[in-house]
Amino acid sequence: MSSAPIDTAVDATARARDFLGVTRLTNSALRGWLHGLPGVDHVGCDARAGDLGTRSIKNDAKLWAIDLAISMIDLTTLEGSDTAGKVRGLCAKALTPDASDLSTPRPAAVCVYGDMVPVAREALGTDSGVGIAAVATAFPSGRASMAVKLADTREAVAASANEIDMVIDRGAFLAGDYLTVFHQIADVKQACGPARLKVIMETGELVTYDNVRRASWLSMLAGGDFIKTSTGKVAPAATLPVTIVMLEAVRDWFALTGEMVGVKPAGGIRTSKEAIKFLVAVNEVAGEEWLDNKWFRFGASSLLNDLVLQRQRMKLGFYSGADYVTDDAPSLY
Amino acid sequence: MSTFEYAPAPESRAILDLRASYGLFINGQFVSGNGTPFKTISPATEEVLAEISEANAADVDAAVRAARTAYTRVWSKLSGADRGKYLYRIARILQERSREFAVLETLDNGKPIKESRDVDVPVAAAHFFYHAGWADKLEYAVHGANPRPYGVVGQVIPWNFPLLMLSWKIAPALAAGNTVVLKPAETTPLTALLFAEVCQQADLPPGVVNIITGAGATGAALVEHPGIDKIAFTGSTGVGKAIARSIAGTRKKATLELGGKAANIIFDDAPIDQAIEGIINGIFFNQGHVCCAGSRLLVQESIADEVDARLKRRLKHLRLGDPLDKNTDVGAINSGAQLARITELVAAGEAEGAQRWDTGCPLPEKGFWFRPTVFTGVSQTHRIAQEEIFGPVVSVLTFRTPQEAVAKANNTPYGLSAGIWTEKGSRILWMADQLRAGVVWANTFNRFDPASPFGGYKESGYGREGGRQGLAGYIVTGKSA
């Protein structure tokens, strides 16, 4: 923690102390607070997800949901093999999701590694409405010193990233060292400056829904603007029940503090049908205020083309096929 | 559109082949009844669906005789394995025709299609599959030597789960080797009559299953018929007592599954979001037309305000309306008479000083409807805490300690079910031991499985349905008479 700027920690820590009603922020204070949250019953949570998944979204509602889902995508490429060419292709797709129908909304952002931010910026320009999200903090493992994580963040922001997707230290979290996780988030938030911070909890490694709920609250307490499920590198990634736990967290946080926090499921959502189930969950769990790309995102790549295909089908009345939508950056993410 | 408004998503009725009129199903054939025909309507629209025959005493006699003949000549002579084959066949046909059954059940009963599709029909099929497996293993199912059937069983079922209650009755009876005469409720006869067609389709020997339709008089004629060896009844406690009186002093046995006023108990360490879902499932599933509904919500006083706020926020997302719409959560009240009963008890709740809240959602113009309703400030003395409302109305009471929760939960003439919500396993076990209820759910509610026995304490009836305990109700053991 030696490299953490003192002033950051002081702001977030002071706020947290105030919030918890303690004079000194300690692991035991955080533990008491996080473990005092109501538990999540695994079976019941899965059942709720199953029930929401039976909603039948048709006609106008479906078309509306498809456009909303497209506008919520963080179009993503996060491969060791990424090149400037692949990132430019991704940006071109973001600018023109469907060349046959220019009324198709653009995704919210492209999501790339920090070193690709300049390439993306050059391709997107500054007034396209498509933001740039950069993963940082030794993504995806998060196993690096705090100095490295902060440098990673500052570099991406300096290169004009609008949003930073950080990973939490899952090792520290699982070891019960909530204070370390808290400070890291708070410090990265400070390093973000004007960029919005998404906190990746890697729920596939936290495993239990109780852990997901605690990590969500810890991330919000430390100042995260978004809570995000996964890196996409660990299975399971974004499941509906995990997203429901996070939607409950932001809803309850808002009721308590009046602050809205966004939610981003990432990884594994590939079809329009799945995406619409998530939007139903947003609507019925968090509320319609979250049905906006300022507060809800999908971290995805192949999802965009499935949404475009469905959109064409709704407008034209028949299915075209994968050969009739452009694909610049085929990816498994 | 600025908000996410779900477009109508109605399930099609085209799959149904509804006849204008239906006879009685006796000895494998549909025959006209000799009583006064009556109409069955859709409670959501008051549309007349079909004309139904009424069985009078002579028709009941014909049905019982058909069942006796089928028992003596055919069914009692079949091996268990062969009886099992028929039950497996019926189960598969129910699955194959599941959409047809779901649409018809929703139309005649008023329950949401998502419930008939996802609960009633699949669980009904599961009961036939489960009991098919027991048919050739009866000596392993029950204690005692020489297990054998009673003979002819008279069965009377309610309107809240027409096909599911039919399956709970018919599947174990046939598996054990009995033949049956079953009377569905007068407001919901159609899926039972469609089931009669399934019996024909399955080539079930004539007379093994007989379906007679009519109201209370038909039921009474069936119960009082001297050719009946055993009565199985699900319905109100009032009718159950009348049945018990009428068969007193006869050789007839009975199992009765009657009313309930279940306590759903929420402790302050409950998984709160799932508990809210469990409260809703407990009382608003099937419009609260559920004998084991969690109609008394007992909340630990320290979290009463929080539960109240979360419950009411969640209830605003319940979608009430066209039961055939796949997004409908709350359907129609089954009949005008039931709506009047709910309305009367709710008025009594207000008059006695409890605070009434409802979702305020718009109600369709035609049909029978009641908004999901929450009463707070209820005490045990109030009628709405004592009497079974059988509608979408929950009465909220508070408690301070586990002991007080148990005392309040047990302070009722009923004892069908109870729910416990806590993260503390030892408390669940302690509570389950103390609660005088036939079914105790922990961190869930309204779960039904054919392998799990269901039934009541006290005025909720006697006998069990489901599992080996339920099967035992259709089996005699020991030396033959």
Q: How far apart are CA B326 and CA B361, in angstroms?
A: 18
Contacts of B326 in chain A (CB under 8 A): 54-56
Going by the DSSP 8-state scheme, the letter that residue B436 receives in this structure is -
Q: How far apart are CA B318 and CA B327, in angstroms?
A: 9
Nearest CA in chain B to A41: B271
With an 8 Å Cβ cutoff, is A323 touching chain B? no
With an 8 Å Cβ cutoff, is A55 touching chain B? yes
Q: Do the Cβ atoms of A187 and A147 come closer than 8 Å?
A: no
Strands B393-399 and B373-376: parallel
Strands B21-22 and A298-300: unpaired
Give which of B304, B327, B274, B439 is closest to B374, Cα–Cα.
Answer: B304
How close does chain A come to B263, measured CA to CA in Å? 19
Inside any domain, residue A217: yes
Contacts of A44 in chain B (CB under 8 A): 271, 273-274, 277-278, 443-444
Residue A38 CB contacts under 8 Å (≥ 6 apart), including other chains: B269, B270, B271, B272, B273
Which residues are registered as beta bridge partners of B441?
Answer: B419
User: Which string of DSSP letters, residue by residue, matches B304-329?
Assistant: HHHHHHHHHHHHTT--BS-TTBTT-S
Task: Please judge whether A279 and B4 are an interchain contact, meaning their C-beta atoms are less than 8 angstroms apart.
Answer: yes
pLDDT of the residue at A4: 40
Tell me the average pLDDT across B95-110. Answer: 98
Q: Which of A40, A41, A242 to mutate to test the interface with B (most CBs of B within 10 A)?
A: A41
Segment holding A70, helix H or strand E: helix A59-71
Question: Which parts of B211-335 fold into alpha helices (H)?
Answer: 216-224, 237-247, 272-284, 304-315
With an 8 Å Cβ cutoff, is A256 touching chain B? no
Contacts of A288 in chain B (CB under 8 A): 3-4
Task: Please judge whether B6 and A56 are an interchain contact, meaning their C-beta atoms are less than 8 angstroms apart.
Answer: yes
Q: Do the Cβ atoms of A41 and B267 come closer than 8 Å?
A: no
Inside any domain, residue A99: yes
pLDDT of the residue at B64: 98
Which residues are registered as beta bridge partners of B264?
Answer: B297, B419
**Per-residue confidence band for B1, with pLDDT thresholds at 50, 70 and 90:** very low
Q: How far apart are CA A274 and CA B228, in angstroms?
A: 54
Structure tokens that stand for B338 in this block: 């039931």
Reading phi first (left if > 0) and then psi (alpha if -120 to 50, else beta), residue A268 is in left
pLDDT of the residue at A9: 52
Q: Number of structural domains, chain A?
A: 1
Q: How many Cα neighbours within 13 Å face the side chain of A47?
A: 18
Q: Do the Cβ atoms of B106 and B331 come closer than 8 Å?
A: yes
Contacts of A284 in chain B (CB under 8 A): 317
Contacts of B425 in chain A (CB under 8 A): none
Task: Please judge whether B271 and A40 are an interchain contact, meaning their C-beta atoms are less than 8 angstroms apart.
Answer: yes
* B positions 308-337 inside 8 Å of A (CB): 317, 326-327
B113 by DSSP, 3-state: which? helix
Structure tokens that stand for B129 in this block: 């599959």
Inside any domain, residue A135: yes
C-alpha B27: how far from its chain's center?
26
* Burial of residue A48 (number of CB atoms within 10 Å: 0-12, 13-18, 19+): buried
Task: Please judge whether A38 and B326 are an interchain contact, meaning their C-beta atoms are less than 8 angstroms apart.
Answer: no
Task: Please judge whether B326 and A283 are an interchain contact, meaning their C-beta atoms are less than 8 angstroms apart.
Answer: no
pLDDT of the residue at B2: 61
Q: Which of B1, B2, B4, B305 to mutate to test the interface with A (most CBs of A within 10 A)?
A: B4
Residue B82 CB contacts under 8 Å (≥ 6 apart), including other chains: none
Tell me the per-residue pLDDT of B290-333, one tens digit each, with 9 for 90 and over.
999 999 999 999 999 999 999 999 999 999 999 999 999 999 99
pLDDT of the residue at A54: 96
**Per-residue confidence band for B453, with pLDDT thresholds at 50, 70 and 90:** very high
Q: How far apart are CA B74 and CA B96, in angstroms?
A: 27
Contacts of B443 in chain A (CB under 8 A): 41, 43-44
End-to-end C-alpha distance for chain A, whole angstroms: 33
Structure tokens that stand for A181 in this block: 């996780």
pLDDT of the residue at A322: 84
With an 8 Å Cβ cutoff, is B469 touching chain A? no
Interface predicted TM-score (ipTM) of this complex, two decimals: 0.94
Q: How far apart are CA B314 and CA B280, in angstroms?
A: 9
Residue B344 CB contacts under 8 Å (≥ 6 apart), including other chains: none
Size of interface A-B (CB pairs under 8 A): 71
Q: How far apart are CA A295 and CA A287, in angstroms?
A: 11
Structure tokens that stand for A167 in this block: 């990973």
Q: How many CB atoms are located within 10 Å of the residue B7 CB? A: 16
Structure tokens that stand for B301 in this block: 């006083």
- Out of A74, A152, A165, A225, pick the active-site residue: A165
Sign of CA dihedral A150, A151, A154, A156: negative
Q: How far apart are CA A326 and CA A94, in angstroms?
A: 11
Give which of B477, B463, B448, B455 is closest to B130, Cα–Cα.
Answer: B448
Q: Measure CB to CB from residue A61 to each of B7, B269, B443 and give the nearest one.
A: B7
Structure tokens that stand for B81 in this block: 């394995």
* A positions 79-108 inside 8 Å of B (CB): none
Q: Do the Cβ atoms of B265 and B420 come closer than 8 Å?
A: yes
Q: Do the Cβ atoms of B182 and B170 come closer than 8 Å?
A: yes
Backbone angles phi, psi at B188, to 5 degrees: -140, 60
Inside any domain, residue A328: no
At residue B101, does pLDDT exceed 50?
yes
Inside any domain, residue A332: no
At residue B45, does pLDDT exceed 60?
yes
Which residues are registered as beta bridge partners of B147?
Answer: none
> How far, in Å, are A28, A51, B112, B125 from residue B107 at the CA level?
58, 22, 9, 19
Task: Please judge whether A57 and B326 are an interchain contact, meaning their C-beta atoms are less than 8 angstroms apart.
Answer: no
Tell me the average pLDDT across B421-443. Answer: 98
With an 8 Å Cβ cutoff, is A54 touching chain B? yes
Contacts of A48 in chain B (CB under 8 A): 273-274, 277
Structure tokens that stand for A300 in this block: 């995805």
**CATH for A259:** 3.20.20.70
Which residues, given as ranges, of chain A have pLDDT below 50?
A: 1-7, 332-333
Inside any domain, residue A269: yes
pLDDT of the residue at A162: 98
pLDDT of the residue at A321: 85
> How far, in Å, are A98, A108, B282 from residue A77 at the CA level?
19, 14, 45
Q: How far apart are CA A198 and CA A216, in angstroms?
A: 11
* Burial of residue A31 (number of CB atoms within 10 Å: 0-12, 13-18, 19+): middle
* Domain residue limits at A161: 9-317
With an 8 Å Cβ cutoff, is A48 touching chain B? yes
Give which of A77, A73, A104 is closest to A329, Cα–Cα.
Answer: A77
pLDDT of the residue at A6: 43
Q: How far apart are CA A120 and CA A89, in angstroms?
A: 10
